[in-house]
Structure 1
Amino acid sequence: MSDLGIRARTDVLSSRVFHLKSVLFSARLWAAILTVTLATPALSAPRRATPVDGRKAFGAPTQITPRPLQFQTLQLQRSRQNHLLLRATINGKPALLGVDSGAPVSAIAINRVAHFGLSPATTARHDVPTRLRINGRYNNVVIARSFLLGALNLVDEPLVAVDLSGSSRAAKLMNEEAIDGILGADVLFPTQAVLDCRKQTLTMKVDPNAVGAAPGTNYRGYAGIPMQVSPGYNLYVDSRLNGKRAKLLVDTGAFGTLLHHRFVRQMRVPLRDSPFNSAGVNLKNRGVQLATISRFSVGSVNMRDKQVGVIDLEGLIRTGLLDASPPVAGLLGAEILQRYNGIIDFGTRTLYLKR
C-alpha cells in the first residue's frame, strides 16, 4: 500500500481558466491554451439541424451540424492499491495517471520524462517557475506539448517531475502496471470535474461556455457535504471523531482513511500494529497502525465502529493545520469514498456520500 498524493508543505496557489488559461502557481503566472479534439468524444451533445435549403428537392437529406462537445465522461479503473486510474496521452504516447484529489498539482514520474519527450520549463518561454518545492524538496517543472484527456487537449501543460518509485514498486509486487503520473486538482477544478468513486467515472467540462450540471449526475439520496478549499487547492470536510470536531482532507490518492497518530492518542483509542506502510512524495515510508473509531461522522453521514489507519502525518499536512482548532486530523481516503458511493463535485465544491 502506498499514498500516491503530492502534499505541498507550503500552500501552492493554482487556478486555471479555459482558452488563455492562467495558472497562479507559487506566486508565479503561467499561461497555456486549451484546445478540444473532437475525434473521440466520450460523451457528445445532441446534434442540431441547420435550416433546410428550400431549393433542395423534397425528401433530400438534411445537412446536420454537430454541436460542440460540452462535457465528456471518461471511464476509470481501480488498481489493487485502491487508486483510481485514467488512460491519457502525453505527447502522442499512452500514459496511465492516478486521479488524486489530494494533489494540488499534476505530476509526471521523473523516470518517464525522457520517454514522453518532456522539455524543461523555462521562465522566459513558458512564464512558469522552473522548480517547485514539494514536501521540503525541490522538483523540476517540465512541459508537455500535448496532454490529452479524452477529447480535451491541454497544450504546453506544466507538470512537476517527482519520484514515484515507491508506487511503482508496490505495483510490481501486485503484478499491475505502474502509473506514469498524477492528475491533480489544477486540472480537476477548472474543468469542474465530477469524480464518481463508486462508478469509477470522471466527467469534465470541455466547453467553457456550457451551463448547468454535468449530464448523468443524480444526487438523489445523497448527503451533500460542503468542501472547504484552501489557497493551495486542498479539499477539507468537517467531521466528528468520537465526538471531537476535526477536518479531513478529501484524498482519492490515499488507499484508506488515515488519521494523525497524535490526534488518535489524545482520544485514548487503542492501537494495533499492521504490516502496512505508506509514503508520500519526497517522504520516507512510514508504518501504519490500526484503530477503531466507535463514532465517526463526515458531515451528516454517521459511520459506526470505523477502522482507520493511524500514521505520523507530519510533512504531509503542515504542523499549523495539525494543531489548528479544529485540527486537520487526517485523510479521508479511497476506502470510505468507495464504500459510501462518494462523488466529488469540483464545480460546486461538494462531497456527496450515500449509505
Structure 2
Amino acid sequence: MSGLHLIFRIRSVCAALLLLATAASGHAAPGRVTARPSAQSPVWTGRTPPQNIQFQSLPLERSRQNHLLLRARINGKPALLGIDSGAPVSAIAINRVKHFGLTDVGATSELPRRLRINGGYNSVAIAQSLQLGALDLVDEPMVAIDLGGSSRAAKLMNEQAIDGIIGADILFPTEAVLDCRKQILTLKVDPDVRGRAPGTDYSGFTKVPMYLSAGYNLYVDSGVNGTRARLMVDSGAFSTLLHRRFVRQMKIAVRDTALTSAGVNIKRRGVQLATISRLSIGGVELRKREVGVIDLEGLIRSELLNAKPPVVGLLGSEILQRYNGIIDFGTKTLYLKH
C-alpha cells in the first residue's frame, strides 16, 4: 500500500532555507527555516492509503532551538525533520544525502535538477520513500542544503541535529493541521476523503484568514502600532522578526544584541530587539511584544516588502506557541487564542 506522490515544478527559490542566530560568545540562539519558489505550486497525485486510515495525528517534539520536530523515516532509516510552514519546499541536509541513500533527479524527469537559492545553486535529491507515520510519500523531491549552522547549535545545546525539513509542498496537499501549542501534526492520509480533520476544538479561538502568495507562502493581515502590514506565518522562525527598514521608518527604538544570523547563500547579519506597543494579528491584539529586528532583504521578495500593505516580517514560533496557534493548511486559516 502506498501513499501520496508529490511533484513540484520549481526552477528557482529566492529565500533563505536556514537562518540561524548565533551569539558572539559562541552560544547559539534558535534558528529558522524559510524558502520561497518563484512559480507554480506543487502538483500531487494520491494512491491507495493504508486500509481504513483517513487522517492521522502525529506527536511533535520542541527543540531548544524552538523548532517543532517530527520523527520520520527516509528510505527506511530514522530521520528527525523540522516542520516549517514558511518553507515551500522540503529539504534534506546535504551531509545526510548519502546516509539516507537519496538519488539524483533522473535525466528524463520533469523536475529541476537544481534550484537557485539567493544567487547560488542547490541540488535536488529524490527520497524513494519518505514515511510520516502511516503516510508513505514515494519519490519525494527534497532540496539539499547546508544545515551545518543548525547542527552546530544543536551540539551546543546537547540535542540531536535535524536531518531535514518538511515544507509546504507536503503540508498543503495533505491538508495538514499544525497545532503549535499541543505539538501535534494532523495529516490527511487518504486523498479521496473530503472534509476537515476530526478532533480539533476551535472554540474560543479567533479565526484569522491566511493569504497564499505566488511564492507559496502564507501571510496574515497585521498591524504594527496602528500601521497596516502583513506577516509571513513561519513556524520555522524561532521568534517573530520585523524588517529593519520598516522598524526604522516607524521610528521604533531598537536595542543591539550580540546575535547574528545567517542563511543558505546569505551572509551573516546582525539581530536587534524592539518592543512593539501594539501588534495585531487579524483580530488578536498583543501589547508590548518583544520582537527581533533584522534585514530581511533577499529573504522576503522586494515586491512584497514594498507592497501595500507591505510584508514587514515573520510571525514566528514564540507567538504561535504562546497564543495557541493552529495552522490549517487545508482552509488557509490561522487560529489564535489568548
Q: TM-score, normalised by structure 2?
A: 0.89
CA contact (8 A) 2:56 2:186 kept: yes
Q: Distance in 2 between matches of 1:278 and 1:116?
A: 29
| Pairwise CA RMSD | 1.3
User: Is 1:328 aligned with 2:272?
Assistant: no
CA contact (8 A) 1:101 1:251 kept: yes
User: Is 1:189 aligned with 2:216?
Assistant: no
CA contact (8 A) 2:30 2:64 kept: no
Structure 1 residues 100 and 35, CA, compared in 2 at 3 Å: closer, same or farther? farther
Q: Which residue of 1 aligns with 2:69?
A: 85
CA contact (8 A) 1:121 1:142 kept: yes
CA contact (8 A) 2:105 2:126 kept: yes
Q: Which residue of 2 aligns with 1:267?
A: 250
User: Is 1:4 aligned with 2:37?
Assistant: no
Higher strand share: 2
Whichever of the two has the greater Rg, that structure is 1
Q: Which residue of 2 aligns with 1:73?
A: 57
Kindly provide the CA deviation profile for residues 249-278 of structure 1, in whole angstroms up to 9, marking residues without a partner as x. Answer: 000111000000010011111110123233
User: Is 1:339 aligned with 2:327?
Assistant: no
User: Is 1:106 aligned with 2:106?
Assistant: no
Quick one: which of 50, 55, 79 aligns to 1:95?
Answer: 79
1:284 alignment partner, SS class: strand
After superposition, residues 1-355 of structure 1 pair within 5 angstroms as 1-8=29-36, 11-19=38-46, 34=47, 36=49, 38=50, 68-124=52-108, 126-355=109-338
Q: Distance in 1 between matches of 2:45 and 2:106?
A: 22
Which residue identity is paired with 1:15?
P
Q: Distance in 2 between matches of 1:3 and 1:204?
A: 25
Q: Distance in 1 between matches of 2:159 and 2:43?
A: 33
Q: Which residue of 2 aligns with 1:26?
A: none
CA contact (8 A) 1:294 1:305 kept: yes
Kindly provide the CA deviation profile for residues 273-320 of structure 1, in whole angstroms up to 9, marking residues without a partner as x. Answer: 123233332223322100001010000000001110000001110112
1:275 alignment partner, SS class: strand
2:303 alignment partner, SS class: helix
Q: Distance in 2 between matches of 1:74 and 1:332?
A: 23
Deviation at 1:210, TM superposition (A): 1.4
Which residue identity is paired with 1:18?
T
**Structure 1 unaligned spans of 5+:** 20-33, 39-66
Deviation at 1:2, TM superposition (A): 4.4
Deviation at 1:323, TM superposition (A): 1.3
Q: Distance in 2 between matches of 1:201 and 1:281?
A: 28
CA contact (8 A) 1:288 1:311 kept: yes
1:316 alignment partner, SS class: coil
Q: Distance in 2 between matches of 1:70 and 1:212?
A: 11
Deviation at 1:12, TM superposition (A): 4.0
Deviation at 1:15, TM superposition (A): 1.8
Q: Which residue of 2 aligns with 1:63?
A: none
Q: TM-score, normalised by structure 1?
A: 0.85
Which residue identity is paired with 1:229?
L
**Structure 2 unaligned spans of 5+:** 1-28
Which residue identity is paired with 2:246?
F
Q: Percent identity?
A: 67
Q: Distance in 2 between matches of 1:288 and 1:114?
A: 34
Q: Distance in 2 between matches of 1:266 and 1:303?
A: 21
1:171 alignment partner, SS class: helix
Where has structure 1 moved over 4 Å in runs of 4 or more? Answer: none
Deviation at 1:344, TM superposition (A): 0.1
Kindly provide the CA deviation profile for residues 120-142 of structure 1, in whole angstroms up to 9, marking residues without a partner as x. Answer: 11240x32110111222111011
Number of residue equivalences: 310
